Chains A and B, each alone.
Chain A
Amino acid sequence: MALIDIDVLYKQCFRQLCLYALHYLGDLDESKDVVQECFTALIKSDSDISNPRTYLYSSVRNRCVDLLRSKKKERTAPMDDLMQISDEEAQRRSEIEAQLWAAVDALPPKRRELLLLSKRDGLKYSDIARLKGISENTVRNQIFRAIESLRSNSKKILGFLFCL
């Protein structure tokens, strides 16, 4: 059996696997637990795994489906349209999402906060302005810049044309 460097694999794949699981479970903590378990299973496994990355992706998917079933939720398909795309496409997407996550991490804290209040929490620009005691223009400006920098970041990382 080829020796797998789990540490390297973990560093490379942990985030993207979590994002992959997140499409099924919709909860980040549960997703992290599932990915953790899959890594543990991989370490313990003594069968010959030729492509550990693909193996991890499919074991994460299986575990997610099991988990949803055990909760007796009717929905065993992912929360969104992940099912309708191929496995390779889903993996590629999770990679990009992991990069985007890192790019959001790298934003200046104030700018990130405004972006999240708007895009995640669904607050209006006028509400954010009132909340933060700044002008609506500043809010719009900062959010625009945040999206700008996410765009340029992902271009750099992926060499991918990012047109928002």
Chain B
Amino acid sequence: MAYLDHAATTPMLPEAVEALTAHLGVTGNASSLHAAGRRARRTVEEARETLAEALGARPSEIVFTSGGTEADNLAVKGLYWARRDADPARTRVLASPVEHHAVLDAVDWLATHEGATVEYLPVDAYGRVHPDALREAVARNPDDVALATVMWANNEIGTILPVAELAAVAAEFGVPLHSDAVQAFGQVPVDFAASGLAAMTVSGHKIGGPYGIGALVLGREHTPVPVLHGGGQERHVRSGTLDVPAIASFAVAGRVASEERERFALEIGRLRDDLVAAVLDAVPDAVLGGDPAPGGRLPANAHFTFPGCEGDSLLLLLDAQGIECSTGSACTAGVAQPSHVLLATGTDPDLARGTLRFSLGHTSTDADVKALAKAIGPAVERARAAGLS
């Protein structure tokens, strides 16, 4: 088996499993006042501090959520509502068109139900938003912008976006910028304080932590209107009993992601380069997606377009060989749609159907790359014969 889909989810780190299981048997609601509650609370707060340190944030800026999707929704909807409440003129939302659906669909929902005007920022062929594009969009009328949201690194094509520069532009106009850093955390340096962001999303299961836990890193001056109302946990921004085992485990994974990042990025980057070379060797007309410059993309990401192939066909053929990857596009009822990311970067819609994303992780080995190198040529040949239906 060659698991090459770590960007979808990566195996839990042994130490994260240990932390999770250790706390599963311990009773205590972190909001309770007695000893058991205090014990749980202590675990949560220690985890919060660990995670804050890993992300260059203050502990009070970590708001635990059920994952990346919830954190994105809280940031986008919550900041929109709060900013509009403060000034009804602020109804414009600026977003990159290459965002994950957790952001895109939240933004669309605001347009459909909350009177938002959504403006998608232009991107280059690598899916990158340039600071000047944001400046132009904001400067047109700074007073009506509720928020801007631009991801730190793209989940499909791996391009890293200039978040700090974008945040600086937004800050000039007093516009809060949110960034989905789910894919960036653990692969590129992520420092919340240095970034100048208003809010930032991270997720547990993408960095070797458990599913169902994530966080919105939220600058202290920002108070989004809650999406979930209830007991008032997490700065009254995100109610719900805290998942102590998942939080403890997430923090362990977060610490490793931060401490090991440099070594991991170097090693995984080399392996990724081998993978890219092997694929291009077997399929000379394959096109590498995203920024080809090593510093411009996630070190664990390789994304290809195979002209004349259907991504679905390739996935089936590789799956049958024990090689697991992704077409990198959104799924509705299991039906692959041409990726909105590729369409936004100006890729021809037919070409956009023939894509595969290979993403590496902490368990990836040279053998995985060798298995792919062996299988990809014949698979592409077959898929090409099957053509586009």
Tell me if chain B binds chain A: no
Q: Which residues of B contact A (CB under 8 A)?
A: none
